[in-house]
Amino acid sequence: MKLTQILLSAFTAATVNAQQGASVAGIQGLAKRLFQGHDAQFEFQLTQEHENWSRWNIPGNDNYTISSHNGKIHVQGTTLSALARALRHYAKEALNIDEHWFVDGVYNIPENLPLPKEPLTGASTVPWRYNLNTVTFGYTFVWYSWSDWEKLLDWAALRGINLQLAWVGYEKIFLDSFLQLGIGEDDILAFFSGEAFQPWNRFGNIHGTWGGEGRLSTEWINQQFALQKKIVARMVELGITPVLPGFPGFVPAALKKLRPDANIVEAPVWVDVPKNNTATAFVNPTDKTYAELQNLFIKNHIKEFGNVTNVYTVDQFNEINPSSGDTKYLTDVSSSTYEGITAANPAAIWLMQGWLFYSSQSFWTQQRVDAYLAGPPGKDDMIILDLFSESQPQWQRTRSYSGRPWIWCELHDFGGNQALHGKITNVTQNSVQALKESHSIVGYGLTPEGYEGNEVVYDILLDQAWEASPIDTANYFRTWARNRYSAAGTIPEDTFTAWEQLRQHAYDVQDNAIPSVGVSIYQLFPSLNGLTNRTGHYPPPTALQYDQKVMKNIWHLFYNSTINTPGLLQIPAFYLDFVDVTRQVLGNAFINIYTTLVNQFQATANATVIQDLGNSMLSFIEDLDITLNTNEHFTFKKWLDSAESWGQSIGAPDAVAFNARSQVTVWSTESRALDDYAAKAWSGIVKSYYGERWRIFINSLVSAREQRTALDETALNDKIRHFELSWQYRGYNPESSDKGQDIGDVAKILLKRWPAAFL
């Protein structure tokens, strides 16, 4: 017996060691990618072992140590996520480099990496570091390839993210589950929305397609699911727990025929979408059909991915209210939902976005919040994302979500808008304060609707998760800029001054009237009023949180840096940032151009004056388009090329192209409610779409003056709408999508041609 125990112990130890050796392979691969093949100089050691996190096995705070051992860089950490974060810590401290998401790094990696002279350590203050909003899979990721995902997942792992939404390919699980239930494939495919609108289909906000594009391709479903398998496998390798989608309850209308006795109701109409694409059928979670479907969804996930996670996302009332506000009904709904999940996976945690408690505050009283969150029996059965913590936190109002575990999140951006904006004081101070005041906070997270820039405001929250006190933002910004441009060697002080001014003005917004990233008015539907100084998050704000002179000065600091240190423009990150600041300066200047035109028209200036001002405006828009075309990140062509690649791959190029054009311009052909919600400052769109709308506007103003009549705004709006729909279907002439000019050359031209924009 004793010998058996010894042998068993030896076998177990060998198995554990083998598993540990295999488990750090993903981190070894991460080191190889980050340090350009120098991964052999690292050795990794997990200091703790654990099974998948679950409601019975919740994570604690992470820590790591980086030291020198036998001539190697020895990295110890409690989890794979801790080891990954340690790599970034070492890169920043030892090499002054940092890997970013939207731009490739250019670094001089020494042949022999320096050994730490003293141990480098880190300890998280929260167990969960979360990433992604459900709608980001539409606004940012819809056309992502595997190489795009590889870059994103490395970025996330290096920042210590250990919990991330994995929503790609959801339609395959949905399709298989409903086929197993007995619904025909055609009825299921008719339920799905187009490629660029799937997040809102998954929410039950919309169903079906529009614009004559036809049903969703099964090739899209299959290829997206194949991509999801790669994504989930890499996440596991990097220590990022995947959050897989459960079944919220939205169903094809055909289910009513298959299950006539099932309790199926219509969800409310979402915004102003035509009813044939909204008012989605919803099976009550208390109905046995719901339990059957939830069981199928979870089991199909386990079958396809294995035992990789116990965390599932289910959002049932995103911007649509429940059919009843009765507290017993709300408790029954959540109780039945969780019972359905745990019937297939008893260890499951239900993760949900807390957006509904903000967007429908009048409905979600404390009593109803308590009732809905009371369904799952155990305290750790749920995690709530406080989705907009930096501007509209709901955790205080909801009493820390009725005591449930919750995550402090930075939403920051709606629809992938691109203005330079952040709330770094709130992000660094309010998050730490929440840790002191709430006993149920379990993490920090990023939940932007779209990722298009402003990386520094995302980094600072993820780094705050490893600091007990609020980060010194001044030191942080200087170090962040140094590491971002370190390949240049010498970085001029003007560059650091520019980032300090960005920190003080663009990235430290104190006024909650501007709660999120805004847009420039050239991106909006032309009008004589209602465009300037707009506040609030929807429609997106156009008000500026700083005097225009501030951004002009920042631009000159960047510009002077390029004159004094020309090599900076060879650094992709600096090049992108200079284009971004130039974009912002020009967008701000358009306010003055627009205001002058409107004021002159309302002051009854003659047609010649209006025409001259209008011509100047259109020339300005063309130069803005040229400016954006100096960097691929700011081009519509990049978006369309990625979409085209998918379209060709699945054999549906026209439908995919229609979706790609629609999401960033006209959502529904029969409604204007969401038009320009995802407006983009991209070359191609600026000239061919925004520019043409303003051309129609200007022509109407000139015509009104020539005819000495009042502006017929109804007729004007109809003309613009006709153009929008035509553009949506036919696309645009990509003549401006040829290889762009150099931003250094363009900047000099802009300074001469539009001095008022910069001086």
Instruction: Please check whether residue 146 lies inside any domain of the structure.
Output: yes
Could you give the 3-state DSSP secondary structure of residue 67? strand
Residue 91 sits in a domain whose CATH number is: 3.30.379.10
Instruction: Please check whether residue 81 lies inside any domain of the structure.
Output: yes
Closest CA to 294 of 323, 335, 326: 335
Express each pLDDT in 571-593 by its tens digit.
999 999 999 999 999 999 999 99
**Averaged confidence pLDDT in the chain:** 95
Q: Residue 574: which H helix or E strand, with range?
A: helix 572-602
Of 471, 496, 521, the position where a domain reaches its end is 471
Cα angle, residue 188 at apex, residues 677 and 274 outer, rounded to 5°: 35
**Residue in the structure block whose two tokens are 């729909």:** 725
The reported pLDDT for the residue numbered 735 is 58
Of 471, 498, 525, the position where a domain reaches its end is 471
Instruction: Please check whether residue 352 lies inside any domain of the structure.
Output: yes
Burial class (CB within 10 angstroms; exposed 0-12, middle 13-18, buried 19+) of 41? middle
Contact 97, 91 (CB under 8 A): yes
Segments forming the whole domain that contains residue 239: 128-471
Instruction: Please check whether residue 107 lies inside any domain of the structure.
Output: yes
Instruction: Please check whether residue 345 lies inside any domain of the structure.
Output: yes
112 and 134 share one domain: no
- Dihedral sign from CA coordinates of 350, 356, 357, 363: negative
Closest CA to 499 of 450, 457, 470: 457
Instruction: Please check whether residue 152 lies inside any domain of the structure.
Output: yes
Contact 521, 589 (CB under 8 A): no
The reported pLDDT for the residue numbered 211 is 86
Residue 430 sits in a domain whose CATH number is: 3.20.20.80
The reported pLDDT for the residue numbered 11 is 28
Residues 6 or more apart whose Cβ sits within 8 Å of residue 229 = 169, 304, 305
360 and 407 share one domain: yes
152 and 23 share one domain: no
99 and 182 share one domain: no
The reported pLDDT for the residue numbered 737 is 58
User: Can you tell me the distance from the alpha carbon of 676 to that of 414, in angstroms, rounded to the nearest whole number?
Assistant: 11
98 and 247 share one domain: no
Contact 656, 643 (CB under 8 A): yes
265 and 382 share one domain: yes
User: Can you tell me the distance from the alpha carbon of 422 to that of 499, in angstroms, rounded to the nearest whole number?
Assistant: 13
Distances (CA, A) of 449 to 413, 445, 541, 576, 586: 6, 13, 15, 21, 24
Burial class (CB within 10 angstroms; exposed 0-12, middle 13-18, buried 19+) of 672? middle
Contact 333, 375 (CB under 8 A): yes
The reported pLDDT for the residue numbered 108 is 86
Distances (CA, A) of 644 to 658, 664, 669: 10, 16, 22
In the chain, helix, strand, coil percent, each to 5? 50, 10, 40
Instruction: Please check whether residue 654 lies inside any domain of the structure.
Output: no
User: Can you tell me the distance from the alpha carbon of 643 to that of 648, in angstroms, rounded to the nearest whole number?
Assistant: 9
102 and 186 share one domain: no
Residue 247's identity, in one-letter code, is F
Express each pLDDT in 546-580 by its tens digit.
999 999 999 999 999 999 999 999 999 999 999 99
**How many CA atoms lie within 13 Å of 378's alpha carbon, on the beta-carbon side?**
15
User: Can you tell me the distance from the alpha carbon of 471 to that of 508, in angstroms, rounded to the nearest whole number?
Assistant: 13
User: Can you tell me the distance from the alpha carbon of 192 to that of 174, in angstroms, rounded to the nearest whole number?
Assistant: 10
Residue 685 phi, psi dihedral angles, 5° rounding: -70, -40
Using 50 as the pLDDT threshold, list the residues of the chain that sit under it: 1-22, 736
Instruction: Please check whether residue 148 lies inside any domain of the structure.
Output: yes
Angle between helices 653-663 and 713-730 (to 10 degrees): 140
Return the bridge partners of 45, or none. 76
245 and 384 share one domain: yes
What are the structure tokens assigned to 693, written together?
């709308």
Closest CA to 107 of 198, 162, 37: 37
User: Can you tell me the distance from the alpha carbon of 729 to that of 212, in angstroms, rounded to the nearest whole number?
Assistant: 10
Residue 392's identity, in one-letter code, is Q
What does pTM read for this prediction?
A: 0.96
197 and 58 share one domain: no
DSSP 8-state secondary structure symbol assigned to residue 683 = B
233 and 195 share one domain: yes
Residue 46's identity, in one-letter code, is L
User: Can you tell me the distance from the alpha carbon of 339 to that of 337, in angstroms, rounded to the nearest whole number?
Assistant: 5
Alpha helices in 441-571 (DSSP H): 455-464, 473-484, 493-501, 548-564
DSSP 8-state secondary structure symbol assigned to residue 55 = T
Q: Residue 242: which H helix or E strand, with range?
A: strand 241-245
Contact 488, 567 (CB under 8 A): yes
What's the total number of domains in the chain?
2
218 and 139 share one domain: yes
118 and 133 share one domain: no
The reported pLDDT for the residue numbered 106 is 80
Return the bridge partners of 578, or none. none
Could you give the 3-state DSSP secondary structure of residue 28? helix
**How many CA atoms lie within 13 Å of 9's alpha carbon, on the beta-carbon side?**
6
Of 411, 446, 471, the position where a domain reaches its end is 471
**How many CA atoms lie within 13 Å of 743's alpha carbon, on the beta-carbon side?**
30
Could you give the 3-state DSSP secondary structure of residue 227? helix
User: Can you tell me the distance from the alpha carbon of 277 to that of 211, in angstroms, rounded to the nearest whole number?
Assistant: 11
